[in-house]
């Protein structure tokens, strides 16, 4: 019950912090006051909204971190059975508690590491390559065109 209430308050504080941070002016916001942007400062008094928003953000951030640490403490120190140094801890499996456990198999005698089977030691080989050789068809050699003596034209710069 307390955990649910803390989670709801936690989310509401996070949303409020986001809204307050987005409403604050940045460091360069004073440049816009010459164009009429300074008129909004009269809503929160002569000092403007900066002081109110920054203090509110500070207190919300402190509360946010305190709730974070409190919920972390509660998660770690949840009430449950404590086990001794050589006793297993009882696990709450939730939905998986209705699933039957797998039967235990007997450990193989001897070495704990399984040994590879040694019955078939031959290594398979690839099939032999085909021995038929295909002869290329006889063709007449192509005649080459005479080389041209003109050099390729290069573009001139400047038009």
| Average pLDDT value over all residues in the chain | 74
Output the six-digit token pair for 94.
């939730």
Confidence of residue 26 (pLDDT cuts 50, 70, 90): confident
CB distance 62 to 4 below 8 Å: no
Boundaries of every domain in the chain: 1-26+48-78
Of 55, 45, 48, 59, the closest CA to residue 25 belongs to 48
Look at 34-48, 62-76, 79-93, 138-152 and tell me which has the smallest mean pLDDT: 34-48
Q: How confident is the model at residue 47 (pLDDT cuts 50, 70, 90)?
A: low
Radius of gyration of the chain (CA): 41
C-alpha closest to that of 64 among 118, 123, 10, 105: 10
77 in helix, strand or coil? coil
How many C-beta neighbours within 10 Å does residue 24 have?
14
pTM of the model: 0.42
Q: 19 with 59: CB under 8 angstroms?
A: no
């Amino acid at each position: 019950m307390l955990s649910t209430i803390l989670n709801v308050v936690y989310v509401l504080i996070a949303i409020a912090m986001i809204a307050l941070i987005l409403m604050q002016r940045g460091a360069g916001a004073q440049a816009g006051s010459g164009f009429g942007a300074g008129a909004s400062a009269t809503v929160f008094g002569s000092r403007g909204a900066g002081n109110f928003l920054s203090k509110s953000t500070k207190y919300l951030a402190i509360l946010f971190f305190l709730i974070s640490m409190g919920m972390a403490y509660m998660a770690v120190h949840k009430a449950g059975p404590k086990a001794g140094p050589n006793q297993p801890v009882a696990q709450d499996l939730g939905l998986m508690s209705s699933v039957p456990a797998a039967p235990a198999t007997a450990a193989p005698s001897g070495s704990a590491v399984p040994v590879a089977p040694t019955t078939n030691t031959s290594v398979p080989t690839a099939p032999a390559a085909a021995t038929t050789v295909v002869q290329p068809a006889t063709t007449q050699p192509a005649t080459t065109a005479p080389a041209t003596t003109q050099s390729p034209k290069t573009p001139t710069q400047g038009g």
